[in-house]
Amino acid sequence: MADSHTDNVTWLTQEAYDRLKAELEYLTGPGRTDIAKKIEAAREEGDLRENGGYHAAKEEQGKMEARILQLRHILENAKVGEAPRKEGVVGPGMTVTVRFEGDGEELTFLLASREETGAPIDVYSPKSPLGAAINGKKIGEKATFKLPNGRENTVEILLAVPYVGR
């Protein structure tokens, strides 16, 4: 079982943390200024009810503000460095191989924050249904999780080793 103290922590490399912090600084500074200028320019075009440019700019502003909130939440809950890892136990920062019960298909992926980009293998979030189900499990153990369609799927943990790089 995952340590409840680390359940809400997003582990990020220094590179990912710096990239997200820079994105937040841009969005809250020049990004907000740019979108305000777009809205003002569109507003000057006249009737707002039939002004596609105005509505597009307002929608873009809403998406940008949502991303700002998301970035703030990630950075407030982030720990820079590597998550505590123990070979043979699934956790963030581990390369995991699972076998699906039923068809025997195997899947190998990195269990990490979706904000960790650049990995040459698929990245699954520890907060995803599969990630949450296998977090803390040991090699040989099984975990069941719900699929988006409501069905359940079971996997067996075949491998859990620390991820060694790009």
**pLDDT value, residue 154:** 95
Distances (CA, A) of 45 to 31, 35, 37, 40: 22, 16, 13, 9
Higher-pLDDT residue of 86, 29: 29
How far, in Å, CA of 21 to CA of 19, rounded? 6
Give the model confidence (pLDDT) of 123-143 as tens digits: 888 888 999 999 999 999 999
Q: Is 125 exposed, middle or buried (0-12, 13-18, 19+ CB in 10 A)?
A: middle
Supply the DSSP symbol for 30. I
Domains of the chain: residue spans and CATH: 4-80 (1.10.287.180), 94-161 (3.10.50.30)
Q: Over the Cα atoms of the chain, what is R_g?
A: 21
Give the model confidence (pLDDT) of 72-128 as tens digits: 988 887 777 665 556 778 988 888 999 999 888 999 988 887 666 566 778 888 888
Instruction: Report the SS3 class of residue 143.
Output: strand
Q: With beta carbons less than 8 A apart as the criterion, state whether 153 and 147 touch.
A: yes
| Predicted model pTM | 0.54
Q: How many CA atoms lie within 13 A of 143 on its CB side?
A: 22
Pairing mode, strands 142-146 and 123-124: unpaired
Average pLDDT over residues 47-68: 88
